[in-house]
Amino acid sequence: MSFPDTHSLANVALSFGLLFVVFTPLEWLFAPGKPSLFRREWGTDLLFFLGQYLLWTAPVVAVLVWIRAHVDALPLESLRETVAAQPYWLQFLVAIFLSDVAIYWAHRWSHSNEFLWRFHRVHHTAERVDWLAAHREHPFDNVYTRLTENLPLFLLGFPLHTIAGFAVFRGVWAIYIHSNVTLTPGPLATILGSPRLHHWHHESDHCGRVNFANLSPLMDRLFGTYHDPGEMPTRYGIDEDLAHGYVAQMIEPLRPRR
Ligand SMILES: [Zn+2]
Ligand SMILES: [Zn+2]
């Protein structure tokens, strides 16, 4: 864990301000029901947001950099040269596809594996899903997800600036698909997904059974977990008796099983 200085506090305030200014009006205009700004557990999700930006991003990035250095040392030169010789559009598609396959199965596994679920269920304790609740994530789950989606890119030798570009896009997209809006990207929803699909992943009765894709719902179509009833769900969360406070949720997955 690292501690924030004035510069990082200014950055987090700016990031929060930008996201707030973009997503609050969208959630107000395109809410499926009556919009409410400071809904229940808004403060808890704000703590998750601050924790992610101020405490956890630096160690998560440090872990990824450390793993990348080890992956770089693997004898995969000929594979990497073949990838680098391809046109950019093909490299882009291959990178997106492999990351999506990896994150689809890693996410699906985090719902079926008891150890992984202890950490991933923190994300699913949200009873209201919106742009701020997107940040409700245990740091272990965060490392696991970021590593899974980046590992194919590390193996294929993609340069750091390309990986960083993908990471920013995936991060912003993840906030959008959690936002509480009926707004979809139109025909692009077929390949890029929409908030409605991910909201069904969080829905109480369907949690952990449908829509595991982080980006493209083609993964869910391919592996038989696609679910879209055409409207937003109304009930979210999991049927487990868990504490809902920030600190309690950080500690709870680490405690021995009751
Ligand atoms: Zn989610
Ligand atoms: Zn999940």
Q: What is the mean pLDDT of residues 191-204?
A: 92
Ligand nearest to the CA of residue 214, numbered in listed order: 1
How close is the Cα of 82 to the center of ligand 1, in Å?
35
Report pLDDT digits (tens) over 22-73.
999 999 998 887 777 788 889 999 999 999 988 898 898 899 889 988 988 8
Give the Cα separation of 149 and 160 in Å (integer): 14
How close is the Cα of 123 to the center of ligand 1, in Å?
6
Residue-level pLDDT at 43: 92
Ligand nearest to the CA of residue 121, numbered in listed order: 2
What would the two tokens of residue 247 be? 């600190």
How close is the Cα of 237 to the center of ligand 1, in Å?
11
Residue-level pLDDT at 236: 92
Residues whose CB is less than 8 angstroms from the CB of residue 234 and which lie 6 or more positions away in sequence, other chains included: 33
Which band of pLDDT confidence, cut at 50, 70 and 90, is reported for residue 1? low
Report pLDDT digits (tens) over 139-169.
999 999 999 999 999 998 888 888 888 888 8
Give the Cα separation of 172 and 153 in Å (integer): 19
How close is the Cα of 120 to the center of ligand 2, in Å?
7
CA end-to-end span of the chain: 28
pLDDT at residue 84 is higher than 90: no
Ligand nearest to the CA of residue 199, numbered in listed order: 1
How close is the Cα of 86 to the center of ligand 2, in Å?
34
Ligand nearest to the CA of residue 120, numbered in listed order: 2
* Dihedral, CA of residue 181, residue 185, residue 191 and residue 192, to nearest 10: -50
